[in-house]
Amino acid sequence: MKKTWRSVVLATMALVATVALAACGGGSSSSSSSSPAETAGPESGQTESATKTTVSTEGCGEVPSKPPNDPEGLLAEFPGEVQDAFNLYPATLAKSAWSKFKPSHPGPYRIALSATALSDPFSEEFIELMEKHKGEGGLVSEIKIASSNGDIQTQIRQVQQMIREKYDAIVLFQGSSAADAKVEEEAGKAGIPLIGPLQFAENPWMVGIYGNEFLKGAEMMSGLAPLMENKGSLLEVYGLHGLPSTDGVLAGIESVLAGCPDINVVGEVEGKYSTAVAKTGALQFLAAHPEKIDGVIQTGGMGPGLIEAFEQTGREVPPLGDNGAAPGVLAYWQQNKGTYKGATSVGLQVPVLVEATWATVEALLEGRGVKMNQISWEPPVIDEENLDEWVEPGWTLQTPLLYAPGPGSPFPPDYLENFFVNPAK
């Protein structure tokens, strides 16, 4: 019988749960070759990927507690609010190669952005806001944009061209962390910092930003479990396996389900991060499963399609775990408070992600240094109490926006300064 992704994850979690927590604290490998960036940080080489997951199993609906793999003890220097953001963090914390970095020439500077796709609403908003920041301070004169259209080798060639053209920093949405590892090292050795939004870093050359997908999944399932009364059947809808935004969120979900023996995952649907595809997949699943579904959880941007699938088939819309906080889901939830059990949403605020990305670019180009290879914050959770703060007038289930912008930043104004070696002037 073919194993599902979930069965593999559960088997892996059962295995690693028998290993003492101390056994997970491995170090990072290194190389002795010299490079421009070595004078500014650790030796080159990839840190150990934190796919090992040892968590403490709590009661149903409780977010497990597991400190990150931090062999250098870096997190101890940060305040508690930062430490909390790294609970369940799926990658090793390491000193950044850019802790002492200074640009090789005065500004203005040129940066490049590489992505696997640029035609989706998320990418369009991200680039628009980056361009807006570029026009504000005069620090950056150019943002080169390149899309590989989903082809990993094309992305590698594009980044190599950016290195040859001596861009001062590269914002990289990885197509594949394994495939991109060599070109990331090439950039690092050329003295070009890499910034990775929505991903964790697996080497000291990259600064990963808001990459704690594991915690997002755990927070979401923690809110969904009580709405399901800690029991019943659960349908999981995922984007694309192989992406941290899918597999990390699902692993976080499973970490909470490990403490919920009465919640049973009865099916998995691939939604490809598309409302339409997710709706089609859900309709096919519901046609084959006439029994009641007590909860649905999805890894990002597909919630409205799932609600539509249940409504179209005349089925009761179950409580929904909604990663990303789609405006359509929030509007449906608000408009049906009297009859709908509700949802639990974890916000993905594109303006906040851009704010953190740009702040990191600025800190690097101003020579202020970055302390470690990961930057993160606790995901904002939307519930009954703060729902109205997230919903804007005129929103409906059909509102095409993928992610609600939210009422403001989830962290205080000086939060990001914790990650930089020298404060802003």
What pLDDT was estimated at residue 413? 83
What pLDDT was estimated at residue 39? 31
Phi, psi (degrees; rounded to nearest 5) at 133:
-60, -40
- C-alpha distance from residue 368 to each of 40, 190, 353, 415 (Å): 12, 19, 20, 15
Cα 187 from chain centroid?
23
Tell me the domain boundaries of the chain: 5-85, 109-211+351-378, 213-347
**Bridging pattern class, strands 169-172 and 263-270:** unpaired
318 within 8 A of 340, measured Cβ to Cβ: no
61 within 8 A of 39, measured Cβ to Cβ: no
- Is 109-211+351-378 CATH 3.40.50.2300? yes
In CATH terms, 213-347 corresponds, of 3.30.413.10, 3.40.50.10470, 3.40.50.2300, 1.10.3720.10, to 3.40.50.2300
**Same fold? 109-211+351-378, 213-347:** yes
Q: CB-based contacts of 380: which residues, under 8 Å, 6+ apart?
A: 346, 347, 349, 406, 410
Q: Rounded to an integer, what distance in angstroms lies between the CA atom of residue 234 and that of residue 263? A: 7
Q: What is the pTM of this model?
A: 0.81
Q: What is the DSSP letter of 394?
A: T
If DSSP codes are grouped into helix, strand and coil, which group holds residue 42?
coil
Q: Which pLDDT tens digits describe the chain residue by residue (425 residues)?
A: 323 333 333 333 333 333 232 333 333 333 333 333 333 332 333 333 333 334 444 589 999 999 999 999 999 999 999 999 999 999 999 999 999 999 999 999 999 999 988 877 788 899 999 999 998 889 999 999 999 988 999 999 999 999 999 999 999 998 888 888 999 999 999 999 999 998 899 999 999 999 899 999 999 999 999 999 999 999 999 998 877 788 999 999 999 999 999 999 999 999 998 999 999 999 999 999 999 999 999 999 899 999 999 999 999 999 999 999 999 999 999 999 988 988 888 998 999 999 999 999 999 999 999 999 999 999 999 999 999 999 999 999 999 888 999 998 898 889 999 999 998 87
